[in-house]
Chains A and B, each alone.
Chain A
Amino acid sequence: MHLVIEMLRSSVLAATPVLLAGLGGTYTYYANVFNIAMEGMMLIGAFTAVAGSYLAGSWVVGTLAGMVGGVVAALVFAVFAVYLKTDEFVTGTAINMLALGGTTYALRQMFRVKGAFMSPMIRAIPRIRIPLIGALPGIGPVASGHPFLVYVTLALAIVIEWHMFRTRYGLRLRAAGEDPRAVDSVGVSSDRIRAQAILISGALCGLAGVYLSLGYVTLFAENMSNGRGWIALAVIILTRGRPLGLLTMSLVFGFFDGLGLSLQSTRIPPQFTQMVPYIATIVALYLYSREKKRVSAGQAGQAG
C-alpha cells in the first residue's frame, strides 16, 4: 500500500514538467509549427530560474526569470522561423544546441562550476498542503503537499482546453495552422498568430524548466531537461494536442518515470530503470500507430 501511494505521488510529480511543456506545445501544434525547440526552452528556463532565485533570493523572481528565459528563447525561434523564414526544424535544433551550450557555458561563467550547481541560497517554490484532502489517508499524500506549480498546471490544462476550443483566439489559431491563407484573407495575420503561439509555448516550457530546477529538485545540472521536451513532443503527437488528453498521457508517463524510481530499490541495475520512460515513449508510439492502422482498416472493411 505504501509503495502504491509513493508511486502515484511520484508519477504526479514526474508528470508535471511533461504536461507543462506539452501544454505549451499544444499552441504550436495547432498553429502547425514544428516546435522541436521545447527541450531547449525548458533547459534555458530551468537555468534562468535557478539564477534568478539564487541572485534575488526569492522564488517569485526565480519563477518569473524562468518564464522570461523560455520566452526569450521562443522569441529567437519566432524571429528566425516566422519572420526570417528559416526552416523550423533547423532553427529549433540550433536553439536546442544554443540552450545546451549556453547553459553549460553560463554555469561556468557565472557560478564557476562544472556539471551541476546547488546552493542553499536557491529558494525553491513553496509546497502546498490542501487543508481537507491532505488529511485523508491514501489520497492525501498523492494529492497534497506538492509544489504549487503542480496545481497551477492542472488548472492550466483545463483553461487551455477552453482557450483552444471556445474562444476567438483558439478559432483563429487552429485555422492559421490548417490554412494560413484562409486567415490572412480575412485580415488576420497568420504570421503574428504563429509567433504568438511560439511565445506562449516558450513561457510554458520556461515554467516547466522552473518546475524542474526549483520544484522537482533545487539545483541546476547540465542538460537537466534530459529529453523531457522531446517526450512532451511525442505526447502531443499521441494526443493530437488535446490538452485534456495531454493531462492523461502525461500522468501515464509520470507513472513510468516514477516506476523507474521505485524500481531502484530492487536489484535491477539503475541504468535500466532510468531507461523506462524512453522505452515507454517508443511503446506508446507503437500502440498509437497500430491503433491508427486498425481504425482505418476497420473503416475500409465496413464500406467494402
Chain B
Amino acid sequence: MAQKVLLCVLFDILEVPSHLDDHFIEMRSLIKVYPPDTLALDRVDLTIKEGEIHSLIGENGAGKSTLMKVLYGMIPASSGEISFRGRRVRYASPREAVATGIGMVHQEFMLVPSYTIYENVILGAEPVGRLGALRNAEARRRVQSLIDRYGLNLNIDDRVCDTSVGAQQKVEILKLLYRDVDVLIMDEPTAVLTPQETGELFRRLRDLNAAGKTIIFISHKLDEVLELSDTITVMRRGRHVATWENRGLGKADLARAMVGRDVVFSVEKPPACCGDVVFEARDLSYVDAGGRRRLDGVSFTVRRGEIVGIAGVEGNGQFELVQLVTGLAPVQSGQVKICGRDVTRAPVIERRKLMCYVPQDRKASGSAQKMSLTDNSIMTHHRLNRRIESGWRALLNPAKCRRFAQNLVESFGVLAPNVDTPISSLSGGNQQKVVVGREFLFDADFVLLDQPTRGVDVGSVEFIQREIIRKRGSIEGATGDVGADATVTATATAAAGCLLISADLDELFNLADRILVMHRGRIVADLAPPDTTREEVGEYMLGAREPQPGPWGGAQAGEGACAR
C-alpha cells in the first residue's frame, strides 16, 4: 500500500505515464429508466482507473447501485456506452461481465441458504464431467486454496444459512475470486456489519487491492469512504456530481455534494424527561421450533418520555423480542406488561389498544402493496377507531375512511396523487410515512419501532426521526419542540415511551436515550449514548466484551439512565 502511494507521488512529480490503465473502465452518458418512468440514471459519465479503490457515494436512490448493475450486465442501460480496457462492451448478463473480469457483491446477498459454501461458490461455474454430472474433487481443492490464500477463514462444507452475515459476505467475495475477476464491485458491504467486522472487511479489501484487484466500493457512510478509497465519486438523483481524489477531503465536502445542501449530522433532540414505566419485559425466554434458544431471560423497562434503543447484529433475538411484545408469537416464559397491564397472554388486538407498532419490513408486514392507500391506512383503526365506522357497527363508512386517509396524507406530508392509488405506486419513503403515520395516529403511550427508517431516502429519514422525537416528547411536554413542522396537528403530543430496534448505529446514537445491546438472545449492556462510543457498542454486539453485570430492567437501570 505504502509503496503504491509512493509510486503515485513519484509519477505525479515526474509526469511519467503510469503503467496502469487510466481509462480502465469508462462509462459514457449512461441513461437508465425503470418502467414506467423512474429516471434512475441521467447521463452518467464515470472513469475508473486500474488498481484503485474507487468509492461511489450518494443517498439511497442516487443511482449508485443501478449504475453498477448496468456495468455488471444485470440490467440493461436504456442508452449510453461502456468500455472496459479500451474495448466497447455491452454485457447481456452478469455471466459475460464475470467472464471478462468484472464481478459484483450485492447489497442483499445472492446466496442459496440451504446450500453449502462450496455449492454456492461453484453455482453457475460448475465443474462437470459426462452427462452434466458434477466433478467436485479438484474444484474443492481450488476453493480451499483461495480461502487459505486470502485468509478468508471459512469452512467450505458449512451451510450458508448457519453462518454469520460477515461470513456470507466473504462467500460472495469468494464466489468472485473463484471466477478470477479483476474488478470487484461491493454494493454497500458495510450496511450489515458491526464496526469490528467492517474493519476486518477493509483489511481483506486492501489485501485484494494489493494483489492487483480494482475495487469499486458503494457506500453512503462518509467515514468509511474517506478511510478506504483512492478516488471518490459522488452521485445525486441519478446524476454524476463530482469525482475527487481522496486527498484532504472532509466529511462536510462529501455531504454537501451528496445532498446538495449543508447537512446537520444529527437530528436536534431536546433532553428526555422520564415518567412512569409504560413497558416492562420480565425474564422473557423463547425457544424456536428448531430448538434454538432465541431469547434468554430478557428483562428491561421503557419509561414515558424516553427512547430505548436496541442494538445488535441481526438474528440475536431482536426478531423474537418483537414477536413476543406484539403478541405474534406466544410467550413461553416471562411476562410482558404495557402501561401496567399484564398482556403476556393477550391477543394482538388487545395489545394494539395500548401500543403502536411500526414493523420492520413495510412490504412484508407493514402494508398490502396492491391495496389502496386508504385500505392501508385504516388497518387496526378499523377495529379501534369509532370515527370511521358507519351507523351499523359491523360496517365501515367508505367516505369517512377516505377522509381519515386524506388527513394522514396531509399530516405526514405523504406525496400521493390521491388516497385511492395502490400504495405500491408510492416511493419507499412515502410508503414508510404512511405506515408511521398510521401508527402514530393511535393515541398510545408505548411505541415499538422496528427499523423505522430502513431503505428510506434521507428526507424521509429526517422527517420520521423528528416525528419519533416528537412522539417521545420532552421537558416542555405537551407544547413540544414542534419547529418547522407545526402543521402536524394530528399526532398525539402527550409523551410516549419508545422502544427502537435498529441495525443502524447512527440512528441509535441520534435518537436513543439509552442503548441496550443484544447478543445471543441476552441483553449484555445498558449504555447511554453521550458516555459510550460506537466501538464499545460494537464490541458488545459481537460478544467481544464480557456482559455488564445484570440484570437490567429493574427500576434501577431505568432510573440510572434517566438520571443522566
A interface vs B, CB < 8 Å?
A: 166-169, 171-172, 174-175, 178-179, 181-189, 296, 299-304
Contacts and interface: CB of A to CB of B under 8 A. Distances in A.
Contacts of B288: 300
Interface string B109-151: 0111111000110111110100111100000000000000000
Main secondary structure of the interface of A (DSSP, over half): helix
Interface stretch (B29-37, B235-243, B290-298, B542-550): B290-298
A300 B291 contact: yes
Contact of B124 (A178, A188, A303): A188
A284 to B, nearest CB: 22
A168 B287 CA distance: 38
A301 B290 CA distance: 10
Interface in B131-180: 131-134, 175
Contacts of A299: 289-291
Given A183-B124, A187-B94, A175 B291 contact: no
B95 interface: yes
Given A171-B126, A187-B96, A188-B95, 8 more contacts: A167-B132, A172-B126, A179-B111, A186-B123, A188-B124, A296-B290, A299-B291, A300-B291
Interface in B299-321: none
Interface in B85-99: 93-98
Nearest to B125: A186
Contacts of B73: 187
A175 B95 contact: no
12 contacts: A167-B132, A171-B122, A171-B134, A179-B113, A181-B110, A183-B123, A184-B110, A185-B74, A186-B98, A186-B110, A187-B73, A187-B96
A179 B126 CA distance: 18
A187 B111 contact: no
A178 B292 contact: no
4 smallest beta-carbon distances between A and B, as pairs? A187-B95, A186-B124, A303-B291, A299-B291
Interface of B: 73-74, 93-98, 104, 106, 108, 110-115, 119-120, 122-126, 128, 131-134, 175, 287-293, 332
A175 B122 CA distance: 12
A178 B290 contact: no
A172 to B, nearest CB: 7
Contact of B112 (A182, A296, A300): A182
Contacts of A182: 110-112, 120, 123
Contacts of A187: 73, 93-98, 124
A178 B332 CA distance: 31
A184 B291 CA distance: 34
Contacts of B126: 168, 171-172
Contacts of B110: 179, 181-182, 184-186
B170 to A, nearest CB: 16
Contacts of B95: 186-188
Nearest to B74: A185
B289 A167 contact: no
Nearest to B128: A168
B287 A172 contact: no
A303 B106 contact: no
B133 A166 contact: yes
Contacts of A188: 95, 123-124
Contacts of B332: 304
* Central interface residue in B113, B133, B332, by most chain A CB within 10 Å: B133
A203 to B, nearest CB: 18
B70 to A, nearest CB: 14
Contacts of B125: 186
Contacts of A179: 110-113
A296 B291 CA distance: 8
* Central interface residue in A181, A185, A189, by most chain B CB within 10 Å: A185
